[in-house]
Structure 1
Amino acid sequence: MSLLNDLINLNISEVTKKCIAEYIWIDGFGKLRSKARTLPAPVTDPAELPKWNFDGSSMGQAPGEDSEIIIYPQAIFPDPFRRGNHILVLCDAYTPDGKPIPSNKRHGAAEIFSRPEVAAEEPWYGIEQEYTLLQRDVVWPLGWPLGGFPGPQGPYYCGIGADKSFGRDIVDAHYKACLYAGINISGINGEVMPAQWEFQIGPAVGISAGDQIWVARYILERITEIAGVVLSLDPKPIQGDWNGAGAHANYSTNSMRGDGGYEVIKEAIHKLSLRHKEHISAYGEGNERRLTGRHETASIDSFSWGVANRGASVRVGRETERDGKGYFEDRRPASNMDPYVVTSMIAETTIVWKP
């Protein structure tokens, strides 16, 4: 094993200019896939990278008789696993004639963020990505007794100690790996349900918020793979008196961050209320199991907002109320939401849409 570890950590830049690019994309089931290729020299601009292809029939994205899907490099991140000049390459997927396939949500989001009125507002996002760590062979939360339950919720949120915190080594490894990759990860914390954690991405502008969330998820899944632990983005992995997992979206625009921004925020929240059902339908699978009106959630069937109210659909912070400008938090997105869909939809509703 010592030799294996030596080979894994081998610094090939000492003997060659070649480097490895790990191409990452999203399959037809909303899951991440990747494969690697050798580049003749280091690359820092995705426009310099070649397009590639994969078998879409194996991923729910194409029929077997016409299975080729083309992936276009869109963003580059330093690779925390191989290190050196090696890179992670986030891609989106197209047909051979250049049309985005239905599961390519990035393309539509990029179109919204490139609209002049949206770009002028410079939408900022801070995404709070919650997730649960599961034991691999029994699909039960990490640290929970097999076939049983830990003590009730209360001591676990931001808790420390072997009886309160399960998986901190994985979480801290992920934190540092994201920083290495140039992802703007702004923090981590243990969540209310034991074995549930959260990392925050942002502030990130426009399409980069979705890019960074997807690559951060990729890095986390790779780390849990190494640790022999299963990553779950299910919004309610354990039924009963346990908190679910969300991906709260903190959001602001230039107008909201400027003087008089509180009135802009209230108008934006009003627009979101008018499109509540449309947003809920796009905010993640299984969200109805989480948005029950309990466990720090609002009911999925109604829209509400309030200052410092974590039981509302949208929360406005006390600081924003006091300063008369700032941001708000959409607490409805589920942990398994597509960040391209959620971020672009919020921007389209609050900036572009005219009720």
Structure 2
Amino acid sequence: MTKYKLEYIWLDGYTPVPNLRGKTQIKSFDDFPTLEQLPLWGFDGSSTQQAEGHSSDCVLKPVAVYPDPARRDGVLVMCEVMMPDGTTPHVSNKRATILDDEGAWFGFEQEYFFYKNGRPLGFPEQGYPEPQGKYYTGVGYSAVGDIARTIVEEHLDLCLAAGINHEGINAEVAKGQWEFQIFGKGSKKAADEMWMARYLLQRLTEKYCIDIEYHCKPLGDTDWNGSGMHANFSTKYMREVGGKEYFESLMGAFEQNLEDHIAVYGPDNHMRLTGKHETAPWNKFSYGVADRGASVRVPHSFVNNGYKGYLEDRRPNSQGDPYQIASQILKTIAEVEERTEGGISVAA
């Protein structure tokens, strides 16, 4: 038998943005363990804002498992947080209650900043570097510095080795800002892989003495870009049936549910969605073909294919919880599709 290092990973109770937590236990198995073989495990919820000190027990329930390429015989275990009975979801456990559908596909574009000594990586100690412009998809020391590409390439390799469906990387518009993309089929699967990719990135940067800054507008009211987590989405009906009438009904539902979407698209989005830079104002809904200044960007391929394919919601921000983002998108789609044969429903 082999002794495996099981890294149990979960989201704590901090608000409005939960933090990733992790701890290791050693278990022996004949082969790489399956999800069904992994036991429940307890932790001190009073140290993670998930319980009071006088009754601090919380339980970790494994929900997804991946190989850990950074450790010999390592296992990454994504967990939900449960109450002490092991069956009741904790109030902080958003994953347990989200709308899911295996025919719903999500592609998340995670933007973030590398930070060192309280400043974006590559910024001078005082003031700012050259204005943004040359940094997006840039190459060379003056554009990306001396360590960022090393980190993003190593992170890419770690994700792929872990079986995470990492689809690409690029330097972003601001100095020290980067992006990676994760694709998954089903809300939970896509969001699990996004959280695990975040975990691997944050653990990796420990050895470089660099932090990951997810705040959607870390440089405040300046001409420097904020960070989003654009959500590309489709359902089976959207890909295979679609149609202009369906599309217009869908956009009407998105407009009607604007406040519900913004509520779960990440905190401080009013700082980023100003209408001046990346996209439409947070309190106004718009859509347009190839329009990166709209709330929802409609690809040319979608229109050219008879209003079938995928759409991109550009409003979710870099701090957003992908579980809640995907679930809200599906809830709005379900308002339209539950009236159509083959569409998803709120009860999916």
TM-score when normalising by structure 1: 0.89
Q: Which residue of 1 aligns with 2:160?
A: 179
Partner Cα distance (1:278, 1:43) in 2: 41
Q: Which residue of 1 aligns with 2:345?
A: none
Q: Which residue of 1 aligns with 2:119?
A: 140
1:67 and 2:50 correspond: no
1:246 and 2:228 correspond: yes
Q: Which residue of 2 aligns with 1:200?
A: 181
Would you say the 8 A contact 1:174–1:220 is kept in 2?
yes
Would you say the 8 A contact 1:19–1:38 is kept in 2?
yes
Would you say the 8 A contact 2:61–2:81 is kept in 1?
yes
Partner Cα distance (2:170, 2:326) in 1: 23
Q: Which residue of 1 aligns with 2:334?
A: 351
SS of 2:185's partner is: strand
Would you say the 8 A contact 1:265–1:328 is kept in 2?
no
Q: 1:278 aligns with which of 246, 257, 260?
A: 260
Q: 1:100 aligns with which of 89, 111, 115?
A: 89
- Measured against aligned partners, the alpha-carbon deviations of 1:300-355 in whole angstroms (never above 9, x if no partner) come to 11111111111111110111111121110011111010010000111111115779
Q: Which residue of 2 aligns with 1:124?
A: 105
In structure 2, the CA distance between the partners of 1:259 and 1:99, relative to structure 1 (3 Å rule), is: closer
Partner Cα distance (1:244, 1:155) in 2: 16
Q: Which residue of 2 aligns with 1:27?
A: 12
Would you say the 8 A contact 1:262–1:320 is kept in 2?
no
Query: Cα distance, 1:289 vs. partner?
Result: 0.7
Q: Which residue of 2 aligns with 1:323?
A: 305
Query: Cα distance, 1:207 vs. partner?
Result: 1.2
Partner Cα distance (1:71, 1:156) in 2: 41
Q: Which residue of 1 aligns with 2:269?
A: 287
Would you say the 8 A contact 2:233–2:310 is kept in 1?
yes
Specify the code of the residue in structure 2 equivalent to 1:66: S
Please show how residues 13-52 of structure 1 align to structure 2 within 5 Å.
17-29=2-14, 30-41=18-29, 42-52=31-41
Structure 1: runs of 5 or more not aligned: 1-15
Partner Cα distance (1:290, 1:127) in 2: 18
RMSD over aligned Cα atoms? 1.5
Partner Cα distance (1:144, 1:171) in 2: 18
Q: Which residue of 2 aligns with 1:80?
A: 69
Partner Cα distance (2:22, 2:243) in 1: 42
- Measured against aligned partners, the alpha-carbon deviations of 1:119-139 in whole angstroms (never above 9, x if no partner) come to 5xx00000001011000xx21
Q: Which residue of 1 aligns with 2:344?
A: none
Q: Which residue of 1 aligns with 2:237?
A: 255
Please show how residues 217-228 of structure 1 align to structure 2 within 5 Å.
217-228=198-209
Q: 1:298 aligns with which of 258, 280, 288?
A: 280
Runs ≥4 in structure 1, deviation > 6 angstroms?
none
How many residues are matched?
A: 329
1:153 and 2:132 correspond: yes
Structure 2: runs of 5 or more not aligned: 340-348
Query: Cα distance, 1:263 vs. partner?
Result: 4.0
Q: Which residue of 1 aligns with 2:151?
A: 170
Would you say the 8 A contact 1:132–1:196 is kept in 2?
yes
Q: State the identity %.
A: 45
TM-score when normalising by structure 2: 0.91
- Measured against aligned partners, the alpha-carbon deviations of 1:235-288 in whole angstroms (never above 9, x if no partner) come to 001120011001000000111111444543332222111100111011111111
Would you say the 8 A contact 1:265–1:327 is kept in 2?
no
In structure 2, the CA distance between the partners of 1:306 and 1:161, relative to structure 1 (3 Å rule), is: same
In structure 2, the CA distance between the partners of 1:346 and 1:260, relative to structure 1 (3 Å rule), is: closer
Query: Cα distance, 1:203 vs. partner?
Result: 4.1
